[in-house]
């Protein structure tokens, strides 16, 4: 049987799943307050905390999916992203527009990373 570790498991998902040197984070959203810049800072802070808890870091991110409620926020989100991702450690990334679960949400981020 493979070694799968689930952390902060709820009814529908686990915040962190670890398997064979890879960590998968459930989708993280910013708060429901503030503009895209505020929400992007919040979501990246949450991602960073979960990566740390999983024994990983933003330097070990492999792939990131970013969902925006409105692609008009793409440039502002990228300003925060560019300052947050360590130079030389950019992961594979996708970004698209999707309807969010709640109208006040502007961004959701899904991260896959390596861990030691």
Tokens of 4: 């799968």
pLDDT of the residue at 54: 97
Contact 15, 25 (CB under 8 A): yes
Whole-structure pTM value: 0.92
Cα–Cα distance between 66 and 72 in angstroms, integer?
14
CATH architecture of 4-114: 2-Layer Sandwich (3.30)
Buried b (16+ CB within 10 A) or exposed e, 65-88: ebbbbeeebeeebeebbeeebeee
Write out the chain's pLDDT in tens, 116 residues.
579 999 999 999 999 999 999 999 999 998 878 999 999 999 999 999 999 999 999 999 999 999 999 999 999 999 999 999 999 999 999 999 999 989 899 999 999 999 98
pLDDT of the residue at 2: 72
pLDDT of the residue at 30: 84
Phi, psi for residue 18 in degrees, rounded to 5? -115, 135
Tokens of 97: 């527009």
């Amino acid at each position: 049987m493979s070694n799968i570790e689930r952390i902060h498991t709820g009814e529908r998902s686990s915040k962190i799943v670890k398997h064979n040197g890879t960590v998968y984070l459930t989708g993280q959203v910013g708060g429901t307050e503030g503009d895209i810049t505020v929400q992007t800072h919040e979501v990246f802070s949450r991602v960073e905390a979960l990566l740390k808890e999983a024994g990983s870091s933003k330097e070990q991110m492999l792939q990131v999916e970013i969902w925006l409620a409105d692609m008009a926020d793409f440039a502002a989100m990228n300003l925060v992203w560019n300052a947050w991702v360590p130079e030389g450690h950019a992961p594979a990334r996708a970004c698209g527009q999707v309807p969010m679960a709640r109208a006040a949400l502007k961004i959701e981020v899904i991260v896959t990373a390596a861990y030691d």
